[in-house]
Amino acid sequence: MKTSRMQVMLAVLAGCVLLVIAAVYFAEPAHSLPGFFPGHVSAGSSEAAHHHVKHGIAALAVALAAFAYAWFATGPAARRSHTTA
């Protein structure tokens, strides 16, 4: 499978962004999350103090998947397929 340098860079970038998102979910309660984050609620809500740990785990899982993709896409097998193509 041929993989462009751009795809690898996008995967690494997405992985980094998702890591940050995961950290925010782990660290901040629901009312302190940025408004555009799924799970954000107003300070008066009964769920305001809830930490969306599951959302954080989901973001972390996708981040690791993105890094794994980039790792293999720049490995020896990918380089061999590039030189033989």
Q: Which residues bind another protein (CB under 8 A)?
A: 38, 53-55, 57-58, 61-62, 65, 68, 71-72, 74-78
* Letter string b/e over residues 23-52, b meaning 16 or more CB atoms within 10 A of that residue's CB: ebbeebebeebeeebeebbeeeeeeeeebb
Minimum distance, C-beta of residue 16 to another protein, in the bound complex (Å):
18
Minimum distance, C-beta of residue 14 to another protein, in the bound complex (Å):
14
Minimum distance, C-beta of residue 31 to another protein, in the bound complex (Å):
19
Name the residue nearer to another protein (CB basis): 27 or 77. Answer: 77
Interacting residues of 35 by C-beta distance below 8 A, sequence separation 6+: none
Contact predicate 47/41, CB 8 Å: yes
Name the residue nearer to another protein (CB basis): 13 or 68. Answer: 68
Q: What angle do CA 41, 46, 52 make, to 5 degrees?
A: 55
Name the residue nearer to another protein (CB basis): 19 or 65. Answer: 65
